[in-house]
Amino acid sequence: MSEDFVVKKVTGGEGASEVLAKTRQEKRLSLEDVARDLKIQRKYLRDIEAAHYGELPAEVHAVGFIRSYARYLNLNEGQIVDLYKKELNILRNLSGQKGESKPAKTYSNATVIITPRFIKIGAVIIVILGLLGYLWYQISGLSVAPKLVIKQPAQDITVTDSQIEVVGETKPGANITINEQSVYVDSEGVFRETVSLQEGLNAVKIVATNKLDRKSVVERKVIMEKNK
């Protein structure tokens, strides 16, 4: 840098980055020389000269760098900072940005190549997830007592016949016993069984049991009276 400190006024329509780069080259200074003298990283000086302002630190630091750089080159630092701000606003408007945020870096979309092996692995994963979901459904269903609905007989009734028909519904796959005797259950969970009665009070106990031994119990009281 010249020993005679004469501030050079900036003229023309050039931006701050162009003026700084052009002036440095006219003075036959390298970026390494400027970086060493100003204690500013060479990368930041290169970004300033290339107008890559988004790569600089926060704007307050960027302005400080540019002001120091202009002063170092005997340029009017106020004019250079004004040119920088105008240039920065133009760049921000072009990129649709506001405020002090750095220009967003864009990344090209990754290309996904679908190969037979990729499809095979995906199919295996889907099957495994399906099996796990099915097992979870089965286990969660077995972890609670099975449904047991007795449609007949009603509770606490009196009959004169020596037999009564028990009709009910449970979850398909559950076992049904009536007074400890196994009863056939169809594929829809419906069962129907005739039970013999003794004179007097009869307890009809219906039990539904699933594969995890969870049980639902319903008991009916039936009084059988002989005709007089």
Task: Assess contact for 169 and 149: CB atoms under 8 A.
Answer: yes
Strands 215-224 and 163-170: unpaired
- Residue 150, SS3 per DSSP: strand
Domains recognised in the chain with CATH numbers? 16-95 (1.10.260.40), 148-224 (2.60.40.10)
pLDDT tens digits for range 81-91: 999 998 888 88
Residue 145 predicted with pLDDT over 70: yes
The model's confidence at residue 92, banded by pLDDT at 50, 70 and 90, is: confident
Q: Which DSSP state fits 141?
A: H
Three-point CA angle 73, 78, 84, nearest 5° = 85
pLDDT tens digits for range 1-44: 444 444 555 555 688 889 999 999 999 999 999 999 999 999 99
| Choice between 14 and 124, residue whose per-residue pLDDT is larger | 124
What average pLDDT does range 136-163 have in this prediction?
A: 84
Task: Assess contact for 21 and 80: CB atoms under 8 A.
Answer: no
Residue 166, beta-bridge partner list: 193
How far apart, in Å, do the first and last CA atoms of the chain sit? 133
Residue 187 predicted with pLDDT over 60: yes
